Amino acid sequence: PAAFAYPGGILINVNSPRFNCDPSVIMNILVHEIYHGGYANTIAYRTDYDLQNETLDFILDFLLNEGMATYVSYSARHIFPNNFVPDYAMIDSTEAVKANLEKVDLLFRQAESLEIDSLRRLAWQTGVIERAFYIAGGYMAGRIDEKLGREELVRSMCAGPLSFLTVYNSVAEKDMLIR
């Protein structure tokens, strides 16, 4: 990765070709990574209950974390313009969003039969490398924000990934639901 957050900091390779040597793009991605630092502080205050299923919890948490971080940086484009990162164009494409929602749905179905290590590898490939968590989760956050407002988005995010998914499904079109 060209940038990532870790406990205690953020590492960003400002020379990465992924940033096109554009300070605005770098700052926009920094917003994404700063969100991750804040997200780590919400976990202790969640009201969602654990699902008693480590694989489902893993996917739900990853979807919420990367989706919200993407939505935060997507929303910051008026401050730090970023038309270079392809995630934002995909969030604006109904077809790309549907394809990524379907990928997340498939991960949930596979969570019932795969061992946790296999699921983690598949989630990394599908959710991170192929960007499904970023695109689907970013779109989900945007729909909640648009339909119910920022306060409900923040409340559902802070409550935990199950609340985030439930609130999203309450406002999603039938063909855009996460099952």
Three-state secondary-structure class, residue 99 = helix
Dig out the tokens for 173 from the structure: 């079109």
pLDDT class for 57, splitting at 50, 70, 90? confident
**What pLDDT does 176 receive?**
96
Is 112 or 34 the better-scoring residue by pLDDT?
A: 34
Q: What distance in Å separates the CA atoms of residue 61 and residue 39, rounded to the nearest whole number? A: 11
Q: What pTM was estimated for this model as a whole?
A: 0.93
Q: Is the pLDDT of residue 41 over 80?
A: no
pLDDT in tens, 95-142: 999 999 999 999 999 988 888 899 999 999 999 999 999 999 999 999
pLDDT class for 51, splitting at 50, 70, 90? low
Containing H/E element for 65? helix 54-75
CA 80, 86, 88, 92 torsion: positive or negative? positive
pLDDT class for 48, splitting at 50, 70, 90? confident
Average pLDDT over residues 44-50: 77
C-alpha 86, offset from chain centre: 14
